Amino acid sequence: MNTFSKLKQFYWPYKKYFIGSIFFLIFVTAITVAYPIILKITIDDVIISGNYDLVPYVAFGFILLMVVKGVATYFHQFMGDLFGIKTVYELRNELYKKLQYLPFRYYDNAKTGDLMSRLTADVEGFRFFLSFGFAQLINLVLIVSLSLGIMLYFSVPLALVTMVSMPFLIVVVYRFDKKVHPAFKGIRKSFARLTTKVQENISGMNTVKSLSREDFEIEKFVDKNGDYKDNYITTAGIWSKYFPLMELIGQICVVLLLGFGGFMVINNQLAPGELVAFFSLVWYIIGPLMNLGFIINTFSQSKASGERLLEVLDEKEDIANNERPLSVETLKGHVQFKGVTHTYNSNENEVALKDISFNAEPGKVIGLIGATGAGKTTITQLISRFYEADHGEILIDGQNIKNYSITSLRKNIGVVLQESFLFSSSIRDNISYGAPNASIEQIIDAAKRADAHQFIMELPDGYETILGERGMGLSGGQKQRIAIARSILIDPSILILDDATSAVDMETEAKIQVAFLEVMKGRTTFIIAHRISSLMHADEILVLEDGEIKERGTHEQLLGNKIGIYRRIYNIQFKDRDTVFNVESEKVSV
HEC-encoded secondary structure of 304-360: HHHHHHHHHHCCCCCCCCCCCCECCCCCCCCEEEEEEEEECCCCCCCEEEEEEEEEE
- Smallest CA-to-CA distance from 162 within 256, 276, 290 is with 256
Give the tens place of pLDDT for each residue, 32-79: 888 888 888 888 888 887 788 888 888 888 888 889 999 999 999 999
Work out the pLDDT band at 382, boundaries 50, 70, 90. Answer: very high
End-to-end CA distance of the chain: 85
Q: Which of 517, 107, 524 is nearest to 312 (CA)?
A: 107
The percent of the chain in helix, strand and coil, each rounded to the nearest 5, is: 65, 10, 20
* 451-506 pLDDT, tens digit each: 788 888 988 889 998 887 666 778 777 887 888 888 888 888 999 988 776 666 67
State which amino acid sits at residue 27.
F
Residues 253-274, mean pLDDT to the nearest whole number: 83
Residue 357's pLDDT is: 94
Map out the domains of the chain as residue ranges.
1-155+301-316, 156-269, 335-588
Residue 174 is predicted with a pLDDT of 76
Give the pLDDT confidence of 247-259 residue by residue, as tens digits: 788 778 778 878 8
What is the mean pLDDT of the segment spanning 247-276? 82
- pLDDT digit string, tens, across residues 520-568: 778 899 999 888 888 888 999 999 998 999 999 999 999 988 888 999 9
Share of the chain above pLDDT 90, in %: 22
Residue 350, pLDDT score: 73
Q: Quick one: 335-588 is in which CATH superfamily?
A: P-loop containing nucleotide triphosphate hydrolases (3.40.50.300)
> Which amino acid, residue 242?
Y
Q: Give the global pTM.
A: 0.74
Q: Say which CATH topology domain 1-155+301-316 has.
A: ABC transporter transmembrane region fold (1.20.1560)
